Structure formats: structure tokens, C-alpha cells
Chains A and B, each alone.
Chain A
């Protein structure tokens, strides 16, 4: 025995048929609308991908600068660069401004000779 709502199956079939029998121009318009919507998605995806790449590149460059160019961290303080060759105590004095280095080679030559002379 058929149930009272069985006519809805027939209604569904009729509606399906009406959706399937659209004319070519309408189907084409629907296709264009879908492609437009998908293009929006593609643009957003591409934009996100480009920005991800840019971010990754920037992060890589920053990391490389830190790892392979340590002077860059202290570039604003030449005295600190020289401190790398000094003892910790000298470095502290240098940082406090109590010790000044000179560029005169004669001074270093005299210093070395004096050390040799004094044994």
C-alpha cells in the first residue's frame, strides 16, 4: 500500500527532469558562473601561495644573515668587533671605554720588542 507522501517521489523525479532539460544557453551561463567563482578561489589560493613563498624567503634570508654574518649583529659597535680577539678582561675594559686601541703598527712593534727584551 502506498503511503500518503509517496507523491513526493514523483515530484522529485519531475523536478530532476526539469533541471536536466535546461537549454544549452542556460547551461553555458551556469558553466561561466561556476568558472568565475572558481577563478576567485584560484586567485586567492595563488595569492596565499605567493605570500607564503615570500615569507619563507624572508625568513631564510634573516636566518642566513644571523648564522653566516655574525658581524652584522654588532656592526654598529666597532669596538665590540675587536673585542673578539681580546681576553675577557680586556673586552670588559674596552666596553667601558677604559682601553683604547691604536692603529699605529710601530706601537705594536715596540710592544713586542719590549716583551722580548724583558724576557
Chain B
């Protein structure tokens, strides 16, 4: 077998392994954004195609933030389209505003508190988290999922979300506080 064909086969295997490893979490992220599995599947497929077309030749270490950059772009587009549609369909469906002023002291976690999910067990905890994540604004949710779940560092998360590292920290801070408050309500 020619050398370039061997290399192509190896590259395909690596790409396959990467996509296989990330696809389920990507689907769940898209589901949190769309609340619809079919639409989520379409978005993930689009993201895979665009990632392979544009970034497959990049170094493997760069793939996670680049894949999520593509997916995040798809989710943002979907969100924008949905907002426009919603604005036309219904004027009484206010969109959440990421930039709402919050009192950081009032929303700061209690250092003595072990955490809201500690009180929830099994499916209850999963459902509570699911609902709380769906209620988050898109940017806050993405910051939480990319940093906490996907394990990207701040710089890679900023790359994926196409924003500054400071914005990532702000979105994450707000997401953590909002999730904590939402999950506290399940007590």
C-alpha cells in the first residue's frame, strides 16, 4: 500500500476516534440549546461536516476547541434564528439577557454548603440538572458545558465561543450561580 494511502487511513482513524469521542456530548449540548433531538442531530451533523472540511488538517491537539467552535457557531445561528422567529410569533416570550446586573455577593455560594446536587439522587438529580441547564442563557450554558463538562481550559473555551477569556469567566460565574440557585429550588 502506498505511503500516502497509509497516512490517509491513519488520519481517518484518528479523525473517526475524535468524532466518536465527542459526538454524544455534542448531541447533548445541542439538545440543551434546541430542546429537540432531531434538530440537535442535524446541528451535530452539520458541525461534523464543517469541522472535517475546515479543520481536519489542523494538529490533533487543536481539534477539541475547533470542533466546539464550529458547533457553538451552529448553536448560536440556531438560537438567533429561533429568537427572530419567536419575536414574530409571540411578543410575550422574553429572551433571557446575559448582561442582566447581578449582585455577586447575593449570588455567591455559601462556603459551608456542599452543593445542591448532593441532596438529589439518581434520575431526580439528572432531570433537575437538565431543566436548570435548559433554562440558562446560551452563552452561560456553553461556558459551563465547555469548561466543566468538556474540560476545555479558559483559553480553549474562549476560542470555541469566539470571545475573550474574561467573558468566559463572567459567563461561567453567572452560570454556576444560576445553576446553584435553580438546583436549590429542588430541595
Contacts and interface: CB of A to CB of B under 8 A. Distances in A.
Given A15-B149, A22-B27, A41 B12 contact: yes
A11 interface: yes
Interface in A1-40: 2, 4-8, 10-12, 14-20, 22, 26-27, 29-30, 33-34, 36-38, 40
Interface residues of B, number: 44
Contacts of B145: 15
A53 to B, nearest CB: 9
A14 B125 contact: yes
Given A30-B24, A34-B19, A4 B110 contact: yes
A73 B17 CA distance: 54
Interface centre among A5, A18, A52 (most CB of B within 10 A): A18
B96 interface: no
Secondary structure call for the B interface: helix
Contacts, number: 106
B50 to A, nearest CB: 9
A41 B15 contact: yes
Given A30-B23, A37-B19, A41-B15, A18 B130 contact: yes
A22 B116 contact: no
Given A37-B51, A37-B52, A38-B15, A7 B23 contact: no
A42 interface: yes
Secondary structure call for the A interface: helix
B187 interface: no
B58 interface: no
Q: Size band of the A side of the interface?
A: 20 to 34
Contacts of B48: 33-34, 36-37
B84 interface: no
Given A5-B176, A22-B24, A11 B129 contact: yes
17 contacts: A5-B115, A5-B176, A7-B114, A10-B125, A18-B126, A20-B24, A22-B24, A26-B27, A33-B41, A36-B49, A37-B45, A38-B15, A38-B16, A41-B52, A41-B56, A42-B12, A52-B4
Interface of B: 4-5, 8, 11-12, 15-16, 19-20, 23-25, 27-28, 37, 41, 44-45, 48-49, 51-53, 56, 109-111, 113-118, 125-126, 129-130, 145, 148-149, 176, 179-180, 183
